[in-house]
Amino acid sequence: MSQRTTIPFGPQHPVFPEPIQLRLILEDERVVEALPAIGYVHRGLEKLAEQKDFQQDVFLIERICGICSFMHAMNYCQGIEQLLGLAVPERAKYLRLIWAELHRMHSHLLFLALLADSFGFENLFMQTLRCREEILDLMEITAGNRIMLTTCCIGGVRKDITPDQLKRIGTGLDRAQASLGELGGAFAKDYTIQRRLKGIGVLTREKAHELGAVGPVAKASGLAMDLRQTGYAPYPELGFTPITETNGDAYARMMVRLRELDQSAELIRAAIGRLPDTPLSVPFKGNPTGEVAARIEQSRGELLFFIKANGSKNLERFRARTPTFANLAPLLHMLPGCELADVPVIVVSIDPCISCTER
Amino acid sequence: MSLLPAKTVTPDNLLHEVAVLRQQGYRLVTLTCLDQGTGHTVYYHFDKAYQPLHLRLEIPDGQELCSLSSLYPAAMIVENEIKDHFGVKFTGLALDFQGRLMLTEAAPKTPMNRFRRCGMELDARQPAAATPAAA
């Protein structure tokens, strides 16, 4: 009979950009159970959001995550706008979409780089990050910052994108997509990558639904679930449809993100082509009151903010459920039965963001 | 104040209502807990084909809630988080972190409660943080 061994996987591990621990119970080299231990980067941001002014919260909430920061601010602004009854100008909606999709692109490229690193492809890791620099440059040119754009404000956006910058986005996307064409071939067709990812960490469609998987994890299992279809931004006007795969393994999760990169680039191009000429924001007076559950599709999946405001400048409650939090249960389901050597790849395949998860 | 449109449930019929939603194909999105001074309000957020559905449940201090982990295994993580942050106890939790999912031994107990400390013992190094929001 095999002896059971418990090993701590993390909190510090070469594949983890942020600390999280999985207590793995093994029989020989096979995982039989995985238990999470989180809280290493819990900052109490929900509590802090109650103590700041609701307009200061835009900046605070943008800092929940250092990867998909813009989409946090966007979702929060949309929630407050709903409470205030504000109709955001069309140009602001399109500019938000452009920045949101740039964020999705750099987030997915970071995922691909870390995935390559997790199975020891250092050169591919560096080439992918080089491609990501193209996107970061576009954000720096248009917003002044590479990640923390802070261009979203309640009522619209606080910065415009000039015609010259729009042209620069087009050429930047051309370069990024050309580079992606080469890198994508390596990711999709390389023999070693296929051996490391295919059939690993399988999540069936039924389990994905039962365990509440979101984002590329759900889409890789065949669930065509993407909140961009709900029309919180002008995605339906641009003909958006979710990308799905059916195998539910680590390879399928990678392929969803790889294909979404091209899709995001095309959405940005389409948005630039239809950018309306309206004011950037609407002024407002007073403080929000009421409760709202605001949702958007972040790079990792569904992001939900519950906001309760009582007419004062401080929120009564701010709650964030981030996509990685939702994908923890599916991850714990994927690990039992796998080899210890596959654990890093499976964990990275859900693209975990621990700062988001713990807030 | 306009509250979130939600169906009100009680601790007694919670599991039945959720079992019906599960049968209808709803996905559990998450739970939200709010401190109301003499008790807590818990929202259960569901979704089906992008249509959100919310259940609202109010419990007085000290009352335990049934865990949803028998119906939705993923509920276990957020229920542990609520236990950490608000001190609400759940019966039938698939995995109980004993209030230590997010917080360390030295952290203040139930720090998200706004109106009272709910029996929390603050660490000597931590100032009291649980005060009502400024008007």
Q: How confident is the model at residue B116 (pLDDT cuts 50, 70, 90)?
A: low
pLDDT of residue A131: 93
Question: What number is the average pLDDT over the span B33-39?
Answer: 88
Please give the interface size between A and B, counted as residue pairs whose CB atoms are below 8 Å apart. Answer: 95
Q: What is the pLDDT of residues A312-324, one digit of tens each?
A: 999 999 999 999 9
| pTM (predicted TM-score) | 0.89
Residue B93: its pLDDT value, please?
80
Token digits of residue B91: 């019966």
What interface predicted TM-score (ipTM) does this complex get? 0.88
Question: What total of structural domains would you count in chain A?
Answer: 1
The verdict on residue A297 lying in a domain is yes
Contact A141/A165 with Cβ under 8 angstroms?
A: yes
Cβ–Cβ below 8 Å for B102 and A42 = yes
For the CA atoms of A68, A183, A132, A212, the dihedral, rounded to the nearest 10 degrees, stands at 0
Cβ under 8 Å to B: A residues 280-299: 289-293, 295
Is cis: bond before B111, omega within 30 of 0?
no
Which of B21, B36, B47 has the highest number of chain A CBs within 10 A, making it the mutation to test binding with A? B47
Owning domain of residue A128: 44-358
According to DSSP, residue B26 is labeled: P
For residue A108, the 8-state DSSP code is: H
pLDDT average, residue stretch B48-75: 91
Residue B121's pLDDT is 45
pLDDT at B135 over 80: no
- What separation, in Å, do the N-terminal and C-terminal C-alpha atoms of chain B show? 15
Residues of A in contact with B100 (CB under 8 A): 39
**B43 bridge partner residues:** B32, B56
Q: Residue B130: its pLDDT value, please?
A: 41
CATH number for domain B1-135, candidates 3.30.460.80, 3.40.640.10, 1.10.10.10, 2.60.40.1080: 3.30.460.80
Is A223 a domain residue? yes
Q: How far is A110 from A147, CA to CA, in rounded Å?
A: 12
Does A310 touch chain B if contact means CB atoms closer than 8 Å? Answer: yes
Closest in B2, B25, B100 to A291, CB measured: B2
Any idea what DSSP says for residue A199?
T
- The whole-angstrom distance between A41's CA and the closest CA on chain B is 9
Please tell me the predicted confidence (pLDDT) of residue B134.
40
Burial of A191 (0-12, 13-18, 19+ CB in 10 A): exposed
Residues 48-107 of A with CB under 8 A from B: 50-51
- Average confidence (pLDDT) per 10 residues, chain A, 359 residues: 82 82 88 86 88 92 88 94 93 95 94 89 92 94 89 92 93 93 90 90 92 93 92 89 92 94 94 92 91 93 94 92 92 90 90 84
pLDDT of residue B1 exceeding 90: no
* In a domain? residue A6: no
With bands split at pLDDT 50, 70 and 90, how would you rate the model's confidence at B14?
very high
CA distance to partner chain B, nearest, from residue A218 (Å): 12
* Residue whose C-alpha is closest to residue B43's, from A107, A319, A143, A29: A319
Distances A10 to A38, A197, A263, B22 between C-alpha atoms, Å: 10, 21, 34, 35
What would the pLDDT profile of A85-108 be if each residue is shown by its tens digit? Answer: 999 999 999 999 999 999 999 999
| Residue A33 domain flag | no
The answer to whether A61 touches A43, Cβ cutoff 8 Å, is no
The identity of residue A110, as a single letter, is: L
Q: What is the pLDDT of residue B117?
A: 57
Between chains, do A209 and B27 touch, taking CB under 8 Å as contact?
yes
| More confident of the two residues B121 and A211 | A211
What pLDDT, on a 0 to 100 scale, did the predictor assign at position B132?
Answer: 43
- Rounded to a whole number of angstroms, the distance from the CA of A85 to the nearest CA of chain B is 12
Share of chain B above pLDDT 70, in %: 84
Query: Considering the domain boundaries, does residue A187 fall inside one?
Result: yes
Comparing CB atoms, the residue among B25, B102, B129 nearest residue A39 is B102
How far, rounded to the nearest angstrom, does the alpha carbon of residue A161 sit from its chain's CA centroid?
23
Q: What CATH number has the domain bearing residue A354?
A: 1.10.645.10
Q: B118 vs chain A: nearest CA distance in angstroms?
A: 16
